[in-house]
Structure 1
Amino acid sequence: MKMKFNKLIGGLLTVLAVSSCAQKQASVETVDTKVETKMPALELSKVDVVTTADNSQLRLAKTGEFKFGQATQPREDQVSVFVNPNKSFQTFLGIGGAITDASAEVWAKLPKDKQDELISAYYTNDGIGYSLLRTTIHSCDFSSYSYTYVEEGDKELKSFSIKHDLEFRIPMMKRAIASSGGQLTTYASPWSPPAFMKGKKDMLKGGSLLPEFYQSWANYYVKFIEEYEKQGIPMWGVTIQNEPMATQTWESCIYSAEQERDFLKNYLGPTFEKNGMADKNIVVWDHNRDLISHRANVIFEDPEAAKYAWGIGMHWYETWTGGKEMQLNLDNIQESFPDKNILFTEGCQEGFDAKHYQRWSNGERYGRNMINDFNQGTVGWTDWNILLDQTGGPNHVNNLCFSPIHADVNKGELIYTPSYYYIGHFSKYIKPGAKRISTTTSRSTLISTSFRNTDGSIATVVMNQTNEAISYNFIVGDKEVNAEIPAHAIQTLLYK
């Protein structure tokens, strides 16, 4: 039976007002990404299809319910997607985005009903169900200005205070955690140590952490975690340094592979242990896929460093050279260090231009990267800012970017971009604890990935980046549905 798509009006997802979380104590439920989960037997009676497509009103819209039939041998002149539920791989940690100072400051400027809508759109089942949250340790470029939590020169951290974050960022994070059900895996990344800890005496434009401040800087992470947890925001872990090989015009700090290895094994790891934080997860690298194998080789080959590292983080910006996305480097890490996890920690569409809110290729960049990252062993995926304003900021060095949702604070409106819906095809249907299962396509015109949730339900994501609709055989084990995906579209097929 060939799927026929009805003309449906997708519109925005239904949003509900979110109750106050002032009295709600948050908690974090983490996922062991290496533990096998026994799944119930498959029924494979029907499949529901959800579609987002260019040049249509389809936005996370249900476009059909179809019955599985007995699979037959596909022909070479047919396009097919093959799912083998008996072969499973990594365990899913979650999908989410970053609550930065910029996101929180923009959110605070919105009318209350739009604040509620934004939180619901990301963090509830009526929205796209984010389960990961990244934030920053003091300022980054997406802050209105540079700041730290200590007074200049305070090596002993006696003046440490997160008072700055209590105005905007922490209230928004509390709402997000409460709206997600109190279970939001939260981690933090620093962009630069305080200026006095660096040889160049400046948080901006690179420089390196001076050896005499290694212990003080390790203590800084502990202080940050303690103060945030006092606010009811449990921390799953940290990354050691955002983009440690990039000298940026904004807050940045350079670590060679050997420097990051030695800071981890001699200072940060032992300091966490000493302070009762051995359960906090430490992610190394937190930069692009191009140099990721070298960083993994240096750190994970050292047993004393590797024992403190949960895994390695990566971004997607290696394409700045004009080359292609390099997911195959992730496969190398999985083969070389199968006991370590891979986490996508940041990606966004650069070069903000308000005329291109609805540029479809922005969404396709998300879908392509998410499918390929997951198929190369990535356990979780974190977008950058969840919200920016109508200028692509605020950003104190004018590094303006897109986010999945923008706010026009002058009009009090939210603007949903294609990226939001593309991310939603994964985050809304794949839940923490799911296992990726074997999925391949017979033609390069389609890409696909599948996860089986702990309740036995399966979500298969299929993406078409071509200018033509494509009919395909959807074959799961010995069952089959004949399907069709529109041009420049993404689908999630749901079944159990």
Structure 2
Amino acid sequence: MKTKILHIALITSLMMSCQSQKSWKTDIYETSASGNQLTKIDAVKPVENSIKIKLNPAQRFQKITGFGGAFTESSAYLLNKLSKENREKVLKLYFGEDGADYSLTRTTIASCDFSLKHYTYAPVADDKELKHFSVQEDMDDLVPMIKEAQKISKNGFKILASPWTSPPWMKDNNAWINGKLLPQYNETFALYFSKYLTEYKKLGIPIWGITVINEPHGNGGNWESMLFTPKEMTDFVENFLGPKLEKDGYGNVKIFGYDQNRSELKNWVDEMYRSEKSSKYFAGTAIHWYDSTYKIFEDKLQYAHQKNPSKHLIQTEACIDGDIPKWKDDSWYWSAEATDWGFDWAKEEEKYLHPKYVPVFRYAGDIIGCLNNQVDGWIDWNMVLDKNGGPNWFKNWCGAPILVDPEKDEVYVTPLYYTMAHFSKFIRPEAVRIGFENPDSDLKITAAKNPDGSVAVVVFNPSEQAKNIEISLENQKIPVRISAKALQTVHLTF
């Protein structure tokens, strides 16, 4: 009997030993100024004096919601002008398993600057019961784009929807731009959201979350906007929007506050989470990156997280916004030649926050910086724009990861697409960011453990020199060489 027990114990010990010494399979993908485009590269041999990166899966941070871009009328309109082959190509690049596999997206509730014209779902003035509510304006372009993406995406994706303004007749200036919501229309505007959710649900498009308004501080009076102070928005959510959605069966739809630049986060989260009641209705905070071309505002992000650690913190908009995008010129995206519109509107004493920048560097650095400071989702702006950075009724030209020339039926996949894919493809929803040690200040790194047990390590090297790295996980050491001016994802599976 003793011999049998010893035999079982020996087998158990050997099994546990094998499990503890499991070997991680390593796949390395690189995008670089030298020409790699999410290219799978060969493993390398260990090198002395390599940079030692130690992963710590036991140190767990936020759970990841996802990565992606925005469905806008401009993007959808352009896709409709392409050949069926190229339209499908673009959508597969974004939503296919072999592509970026986007998991978190945004769309607009009625028009914005990246629409073909002003429009609202409730055009009849003083229609308090919204009897004339209709999403028909979305049926030609926007809805078909979302539906096609749904068919392509095997893993599915979440949609966060944002209005840029209420119908003008609900505002104190009766205009598309600026103005505030009139108190007598608080209930009607809450109903507007509920009706939108219902109509999109009928179309087979479930909306995961909403923001109350895009950019409540306004945009300089240039395109669709509506102004809220932190208190006004919180009062509206606590007393009208939250209870209305709950009553109408949409209590599971997440409400996000703020939805503008990070520098003002403190004022907003202090108000949003002022009480148990207000906190109940806010699922989290939405933020943008336009305050600076290089600053992450780590202190603001950490403050927002600590104010209520159970809430989401999601980057909902970012883009290259000061230039007409460069067509079929990869080198520009790796050069410090991009400018931003923020330089024009910034106060004189804040213009230093807006120097010229390298587009790929800004994207890679910002996503890593956000992830390392409790942000759980990161959404790019338009998925598709034309050679001029439009269409945009205000001529507010911007870049996009994929550009198209509908007249010639051409598609240009910019380096920004591959930059986004380094995160979206390998860090999946419900992944948990994990700890690491990085002794090299030049390298920017983040790491996450996916629900399937795989680990994704994203390494960004903005320097002019290639670097040798040794990544250690458990008892295994993985040698890696990253090119100069490059982004890598090291995907570890077993």
Report the TM-score, using the length of structure 1 for normalisation.
0.87
Cα contact 1:352–1:391 (8 A) shared by 2: no
Return the offset for 1:267.
0.4
The residue identity in structure 1 corresponding to 2:318 is G
Would you identify which runs of 4 or more consecutive aligned residues in structure 1 move more than 4 Å? none
Equivalent residues, number: 447
Matched, 1:335 2:306: yes
Return the offset for 1:41.
6.8
Matched, 1:164 2:142: no
Matched, 1:61 2:30: no
Matched, 1:133 2:105: yes
**Equivalent residue for 2:212?**
240
Partner Cα distance (2:492, 2:21) in 1: 9
Return the offset for 1:182.
6.5
Cα contact 2:325–2:398 (8 A) shared by 1: no
The sequence identity of aligned pairs, in percent, is 36
Partner Cα distance (1:170, 1:83) in 2: 42
The residue identity in structure 1 corresponding to 2:440 is R
Return the offset for 1:440.
3.5
Partner Cα distance (1:408, 1:389) in 2: 6
3-state DSSP class of the match of 1:307? helix
**Equivalent residue for 2:24?**
45
**Equivalent residue for 1:176?**
149
The residue identity in structure 2 corresponding to 1:241 is I
Matched, 1:365 2:362: yes
Return the offset for 1:329.
1.2
How far does the alpha carbon of each residue in 1:410-457 deviate from its partner, in whole angstroms, 9 at most, with x for none? Answer: 110111111100111111111111111112321210011111111111
The change in CA–CA distance for 1:209 and 1:42 in structure 2 (over 3 A counts) is farther
The change in CA–CA distance for 1:108 and 1:446 in structure 2 (over 3 A counts) is same
The within-5 A match list for 1:309-324 is 309-319=282-292, 324=295
The change in CA–CA distance for 1:42 and 1:241 in structure 2 (over 3 A counts) is farther
Matched, 1:143 2:115: yes
**Equivalent residue for 1:476?**
473
The residue identity in structure 2 corresponding to 1:260 is M
Partner Cα distance (1:453, 1:182) in 2: 14
**Equivalent residue for 1:16?**
none
**Equivalent residue for 1:446?**
443
The within-5 A match list for 1:62-461 is 62-65=40-43, 79-153=51-125, 154-181=127-154, 183-204=156-177, 206-248=178-220, 249-319=222-292, 324-355=295-326, 357-358=329-330, 359-360=333-334, 361-461=358-458
Return the offset for 1:80.
2.9
Partner Cα distance (1:450, 1:42) in 2: 21
Cα contact 2:43–2:480 (8 A) shared by 1: no
3-state DSSP class of the match of 2:151? helix
Computing the radius of gyration from Cα coordinates, the structure with the larger value is 2
The residue identity in structure 2 corresponding to 1:381 is W
The change in CA–CA distance for 1:111 and 1:146 in structure 2 (over 3 A counts) is same
How far does the alpha carbon of each residue in 1:354-380 deviate from its partner, in whole angstroms, 9 at most, with x for none? Answer: 436532221221111111111111111
How far does the alpha carbon of each residue in 1:313-337 deviate from its partner, in whole angstroms, 9 at most, with x for none? Answer: 11111117xx723133111222221
Return the offset for 1:467.
1.3
Matched, 1:462 2:462: no
Partner Cα distance (2:200, 2:318) in 1: 25
Partner Cα distance (1:374, 1:276) in 2: 33
Return the offset for 1:269.
0.2
Partner Cα distance (1:355, 1:344) in 2: 25
3-state DSSP class of the match of 2:452? coil
Return the offset for 1:177.
1.3
Structure 1 unaligned regions, length at least 5:
1-39
The change in CA–CA distance for 1:61 and 1:182 in structure 2 (over 3 A counts) is closer
Return the offset for 1:82.
2.2
Partner Cα distance (2:158, 2:425) in 1: 16
